[in-house]
Amino acid sequence: MKKILLLLAIIYTCVYYVQAQEAQDGCAACKSAWQDYRDRCEEKTTTNGDAYTNAIAKIGAICAALPDGPDRKACNEAGKAFIENGKSKASCASYKKAITDRCAIACPGGKKEGGNELLAFSNVYPNPSHGDIVVEYISNHSGSIQLTVYDPLGRVVTIQNTTIDEFAINTIALDLTNNEPGLYVLVIRDESKNSFSKFIIE
């Protein structure tokens, strides 16, 4: 019985590792798209290249990071309007919505309010790690958030409070090197709304 449970645990860990890597790729593509949006539309520090062509590439990369299947299909549907409307109707608002809708599918922790706006999404890397992790968090507002990490038994490992900037790639470092290997859960509380991410400590 113990051997069967051990085998199931190994299989689950391997499957989760693959899924975590795919999710990490999706979050990396979201990060790149959000940075491009912020540079071009918020801070207006980037004018290189054709903005629409670049935007198409950025939002395309978000879905391309997903494996073939329902999620990838839903992701492509989410950004279809921005692509089909063409360059003449493209705007910063429509670019942001395309990123918002796609990242809510491609990046774990992504959430949508009213079916449109992204409240927040988070990314944990490296994943797996030895306990030194960085949390990336993007939200549509600034303010305070609370990060809580739970171990494989559901016990609270650490709680950290910090502040974030609006539509910025906020990074928070966590040192969990003294914790046992296993699957951990990160909960981010942002204005009474929760975002969840899973990560592995080896």
Q: Give residue limits of the domains in the chain.
A: 1-107, 111-202
Q: Which residues contact 29 (CB under 8 A, 6 or more apart)?
A: 58, 61, 62, 64, 65, 106
Q: In one letter, which amino acid is 71?
A: D
Kindly tell me if the per-residue pLDDT of 11 is higher than 50.
Answer: no
pTM of the model: 0.56
DSSP strands (E only) in the chain: 111-113, 117-125, 132-139, 143-150, 156-164, 170-175, 182-190, 193-201
Kindly tell me if the per-residue pLDDT of 34 is higher than 70.
Answer: yes
What φ, ψ does residue 36 adopt, rounded to 5°? -65, -45
Q: Which residues contact 13 (CB under 8 A, 6 or more apart)?
A: 183, 200
Residue 176, token pair as written in the block? 């969990």
Answer whether 98's CB lies under 8 Å from 78's CB.
yes
190/60 Cα distance (integer angstroms) = 28
Helix (H) or strand (E) holding 92: helix 92-106
6/124 Cα distance (integer angstroms) = 26
User: How would residue 130 be classed by pLDDT, with cut points 50, 70 and 90?
Assistant: very high
What is residue 11's three-state secondary structure?
Answer: helix
C-alpha angle 160-166-171 in degrees, rounded to nearest 5? 40
pLDDT given for residue 108 in this prediction: 56
49/91 Cα distance (integer angstroms) = 16
Kindly tell me if the per-residue pLDDT of 86 is higher than 80.
Answer: yes
What is 111-202's CATH number?
A: 2.60.40.2550
Answer whether 200's CB lies under 8 Å from 125's CB.
no
Per-residue pLDDT tens digits for 150-190: 999 999 999 999 998 876 778 899 999 999 999 999 988 87
54/149 Cα distance (integer angstroms) = 37
Average pLDDT of span 39-49: 74
Residue 199, token pair as written in the block? 């990560």
